[in-house]
């Protein structure tokens, strides 16, 4: 039978009145993996680093240098590293887990549905990540400039032009949520559909190039999502010139 393509994620079971879908279930798996890795890395930290710790520190330093190039200050890079790294790792892990053949594990819930599904192929997941990212940007702006200075960028009565431009800027903050959500959802969902169709029409080795492509796309989408968040934080924490 050809693969059934559904835009909406399927419900696996309910936790009280809260439905647990296959995409939500895989996002929990991604979360557990990241928490477990964090605990293992924390226990293996040593004053004299081993090869694994050296490699991790080199990647961390490269990330700091990238953030320094955007924020212009190592102190700010250290301050905002948690949100940027968390978004990148969570989206990346979710994207790559979605490429594993976990979708072949079927459960019966009236009909056969996959037990796991790529979280980013569910618009609810990408919307939630986008809301968290934009709220983090606004919080960074408030903490960096003060609540009055930050919101003065959007609401001012200096003259009608500044008032109109400020309102447009305020509306654009909500547009960023939509842009973030649909960019990530569209790329991941399209890749999932492509792999399903190619795997059905020409199984075995032919889908491998497409699978490697989606591994790269999953990394690029996580990188773009986190870097755009970083750029927006840099813009939000910079006071506009008068």
48 lies in some domain: yes
pLDDT tens across 201-221, in order? 676 666 777 778 888 888 999
37 lies in some domain: yes
4 lies in some domain: no
241 lies in some domain: no
What is the Cα–Cα distance from 36 to 59, expressed in whole angstroms?
A: 19
30 lies in some domain: yes
Q: How confident is the model at residue 242 (pLDDT cuts 50, 70, 90)?
A: very low
Q: Is the entire prediction scored with pTM above 0.85?
A: no
* Secondary structure (H, E, C), 99-148: CCHHHHCEEECCCEEECCCCHHHCHHHHHHHHHHHHHHHHHHHHHHHCHH
Residue ranges making up the domain that contains 165: 11-236
CB of 70 within 8 A of CB of 234?
A: yes
CB of 20 within 8 A of CB of 11?
A: yes
69 lies in some domain: yes
Long-range contacts of 200-209 (CB under 8 A, 24+ apart): 200/2, 200/3
Distances (CA, A) of 141 to 54, 76, 151, 154, 177: 34, 12, 9, 12, 17
242 lies in some domain: no
How many domains are contained in the chain? 1
79 lies in some domain: yes
pLDDT tens across 44-65, in order? 777 777 787 788 888 888 999 9
């Amino acid at each position: 039978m050809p693969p059934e393509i559904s835009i909406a994620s399927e419900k696996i079971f309910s936790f009280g009145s809260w439905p647990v879908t296959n995409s939500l279930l895989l996002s929990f798996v991604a979360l557990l993996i990241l928490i477990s890795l964090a605990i293992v890395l924390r226990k293996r930290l040593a004053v004299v680093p081993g090869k694994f710790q050296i490699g991790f520190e080199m990647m961390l330093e490269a990330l700091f240098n990238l953030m320094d190039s955007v924020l212009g200050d190592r102190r700010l890079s250290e301050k905002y590293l948690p949100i940027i790294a968390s978004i990148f790792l969570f989206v990346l892990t979710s994207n790559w887990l979605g490429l594993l053949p976990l979708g072949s594990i079927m459960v019966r819930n009236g009909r056969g549905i996959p037990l796991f599904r790529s979280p980013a192929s569910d618009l609810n997941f990408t919307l939630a990540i986008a809301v968290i990212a934009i709220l983090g940007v606004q919080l960074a702006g408030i903490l960096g400039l003060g609540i009055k200075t930050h919101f003065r960028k959007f609401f001012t009565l200096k003259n009608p032009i500044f008032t109109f431009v400020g309102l447009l800027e305020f509306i654009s903050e909500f547009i960023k949520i939509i842009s973030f959500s649909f960019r990530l959802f569209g790329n991941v969902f399209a890749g999932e559909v492509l792999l399903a169709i190619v795997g059905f029409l020409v199984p075995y080795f032919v889908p491998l190039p497409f699978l490697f492509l989606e591994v790269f796309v999953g990394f690029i989408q996580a990188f773009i999502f986190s870097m755009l968040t970083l750029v927006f934080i840099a813009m939000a924490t910079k006071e506009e010139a008068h």
